[in-house]
Amino acid sequence: MIAAEAQYRGWMLAGLAGDSAAYQRLLKALAGHLRAFFARRVGMEAAEDLVQETLIAIHAKRAIYTPSMPLTAWVYGIARYKLIDEYRREKRRASVPLDEAPDLFAHDEAESTAARRDVDKLLARLPEAKRALVRAIKIEGLSVAEAAAKTGMSEGAVKVAVHRALKSLSDDVGGDEN
């Protein structure tokens, strides 16, 4: 079983019921996996187009998803279909394995574990309140309005705080490199 299955499936079912925030979180997460998956096979440039095509296909066919099947397998089926389509356009004959859903979902997870560690290190430099905001908006994918409601700040204040936090982080990182 793929680690993120329960989480993604939950978002998908919420999205099917009309919850756009959950659905957006799902599409963002899937976009990350898809980008890594396609980039390894067709290069960065073509990958972005395939990511978008796959997301559109997932959206167009979302009502066909049946909760009795793993969401990750369903997404892999569509990604595989789009990849074969791309190969055919390039007149390339290649076979894409049928049962490699873990492959689509593994790499990005491994990469993001490493990335998460770096992000944690960076975020630790921020004061507590700003750290929570940056985490909520930039990592967990909350909207500014949701983060504002959660912290009791105004939306404007949230935007300014996040902007300043990110600026100070990028200054820090730039400083490290010099």
Q: Which residues bind another protein (CB under 8 A)?
A: 15-21, 23-24, 27-28, 31, 35, 48, 51-52, 55-57, 59, 61-66, 69, 73-78, 80-81, 85, 98, 101
Smallest distance from another protein to CB 26, Å: 8
Structure tokens at 167: 């600026």
- Residue nearer to another protein on the CB measure, 38 or 158: 38
Helix (H), strand (E) at residue 176: helix 155-177
Helix (H), strand (E) at residue 27: helix 20-42
Residue 91 DSSP one-character state: T
- Residue nearer to another protein on the CB measure, 32 or 168: 32
Identify the CA nearest to 164 among candidates 118, 130, 124: 130
Structure tokens at 82: 């789009």
Q: Are 16 and 62 within 8 A, CB to CB?
A: yes
Smallest distance from another protein to CB 55, Å: 6
Smallest distance from another protein to CB 170, Å: 19
Residue 166 DSSP one-character state: H
Q: Are 108 and 33 within 8 A, CB to CB?
A: yes
Query: In angstroms, rounded to a whole number, what is the distance separating the alpha carbons of residues 63 and 54?
Result: 15
- Residue nearer to another protein on the CB measure, 131 or 146: 146
Smallest distance from another protein to CB 111, Å: 17
- Residue nearer to another protein on the CB measure, 18 or 152: 18
The backbone torsions φ and ψ at residue 95, rounded to the nearest 5 degrees and listed phi first, read -105, 145
- Residue nearer to another protein on the CB measure, 22 or 158: 22
Smallest distance from another protein to CB 60, Å: 9
